[in-house]
Chains A and B, each alone.
Chain A
Amino acid sequence: MATLPHEDIYQLVREPIDMLALVRQVRAPEDGAIVTFDGFVRNQSHDRPTLYLDYEAYESMALAKMREIGAQLHEKFRIHRAAIVHRLGRLEIGETSVFIAVSAPHRAAAFDACRFAIDTLKRTVPIWKKEYFEDGAVWADGELPPAPAATPRAKPAS
């Protein structure tokens, strides 16, 4: 896989995410724009009040997948640096669960890359959230990552 710029940041953390520190790390004098995405805990799910969320991950694979997203960002968009940080464990309402920052010389690439990063993360990175309500807890509906199809076998002549 392509090597990532060493200023890029891909992390799973258990403490609150320091968004300003990440923005400072991703901004550079040669850039003209930075686009950030701050995903945080909503106070309800399907009109049921949420108490808190608990996130878990397949940590080694999740980090590998986050770095793969980073490599794709650099391949697909004219960006400079990227940071993708996801928090695990118990998160209260309003706390940031995922933060993405992308810097670029021009804004369009930063917007496009940031959107691509969060959309791809939600589809392919093995992280799960459990939602806690007054009357119980459920694993959130998620997306099934695209997996390789079964090995093709020789087709009978038709």
Chain B
Amino acid sequence: MLPLAPSPTTRYNSPVPPVSQAIRVTVLFFGRLKELTGHAEDSVGFADAATIEQLFSLYAARHPELVKYRSSVVASRNQEFAAWDTPLRSGDEVAFLPPVSGG
């Protein structure tokens, strides 16, 4: 049987819904980072792929004092400690955590 060739019209001319790369994540700040950024929880969208590092940079651009805390912050993704180059997925909950001082 011959395979059906897609018709040129459906291939090239019909409107194709754009494949959305948009990513939306929830961002949480704690301790002094919460005071510095002025919020405990935020929601951010990216048009394209992004990492936790890029997410932090976005806030550092808005709140320059964040830069000096970068080396004393750990990040988590969905309640697990995560490396800075971890790619974000839509629906992720990312938190920026200062040094912990429970006990």
Contact = CB atoms under 8 A, between A and B. Distances in A.
Interface of A: 39, 55-58, 60-62, 64, 86, 97-98, 118, 121-130, 139-151
A106 B85 CA distance: 45
A57 B95 CA distance: 12
A143 B76 contact: no
Contacts of B86: 151
Q: Chain B contact residues (Cβ within 8 angstroms of A): what range? A: 20 to 34
A73 to B, nearest CB: 16
A129 B102 CA distance: 6
A150 B84 CA distance: 6
B91 to A, nearest CB: 15
Which 10 residue pairs spanning A and B have beta carbons closest together? A127-B102, A142-B99, A142-B101, A140-B101, A128-B31, A61-B79, A147-B74, A122-B103, A147-B81, A148-B83
A143 B102 CA distance: 9
Contacts of B85: 150-151
Interface in B47-103: 72, 74-76, 79, 81-86, 95, 97-103
Contact of A125 (B28, B32, B100): B100
Contacts of A147: 74-75, 81-83
Given A61-B79, A64-B79, A126-B30, A144 B102 contact: no
Contacts, number: 92
B83 A143 contact: no
A142 B82 CA distance: 19
Contacts of B32: 139
Contacts of A86: 102-103
B79 A57 contact: no
A128 B98 contact: yes
B81 to A, nearest CB: 4
22 contacts: A55-B102, A56-B31, A58-B30, A58-B95, A61-B76, A61-B95, A98-B103, A122-B101, A125-B100, A126-B97, A127-B102, A139-B31, A139-B32, A142-B101, A143-B101, A144-B72, A145-B97, A147-B75, A147-B81, A147-B83, A151-B85, A151-B86
Given A125-B102, A141-B99, A146-B81, 11 more contacts: A39-B103, A60-B79, A97-B102, A125-B100, A128-B100, A128-B101, A128-B102, A144-B72, A144-B99, A148-B81, A151-B83
